[in-house]
Amino acid sequence: MKNYKLTWKDLSLNDFKVYFFSLFKAFIPKSKIKNLDELEEFIQTKSAWVSQVTLYSYLKTRMGTRYVLHFDNDVFMKSVNEAKWNIYAVSLQDLTFYTFSYLKTNLNFKDLNKSKEIFHNILDDESTNNMPSAIIDKTKKKFEERFQSIDWNEYWNNIPFNQSALSLYEWAPIAEELKTLDRKIVLNSVILKWDIIKKEFQERIQF
């Protein structure tokens, strides 16, 4: 994994804008998703939104008023950054598989290898945003494993975001004894966010 230092400024500008502007964007009329380029943008932006909002909300809830003080702690910030990228990586997998499973089952889309193309395009783009190469390599391998075993007809309707929910529980830099107490709340928080994305996707998709 690459070693680089995440600063408070980096986090507020590059990550928290997703968190803070998400409410504002909710009021903007959303265009239809009519092609693969637009689908790629949807997968990338919505995966980032879910992974960042759920992670930062959980940290803020657990730490309360001390939350911002930890921004000066290099060890903590390294853990937050590692968690962010790992959760995002799994979120990308889940949403890619969900969208293509939905397209195949409901809109008779047949070229499922396009899911690989989109997934790799997104990771190539994120490599320029300092996504660690070790995480990129790991998630490419995991995506291929899941691709080979997925039931495309059933995936979209069979707890499709379970893996990303579990990834928040695994990677959030919170003491294990506290995470154990929070497990149900943490998992549900992710699933509820994905329910919003599922609804939006089904309303916007127009292949």
The Cα-based distances of 62 to 52, 54, 73, 127 in angstroms read: 15, 12, 17, 31
pLDDT at 98 over 70: yes
Percent of the chain whose predicted confidence (pLDDT) is above 90:
71
pLDDT of residue 28: 59
Evaluate whether 62 touches 174 at the Cβ level (below 8 Å).
Answer: yes
Reading the block at residue 75, the tokens are 């060890």
- Confidence band, pLDDT 50/70/90 cuts, at residue 1: very low
pLDDT at 4 over 50: no
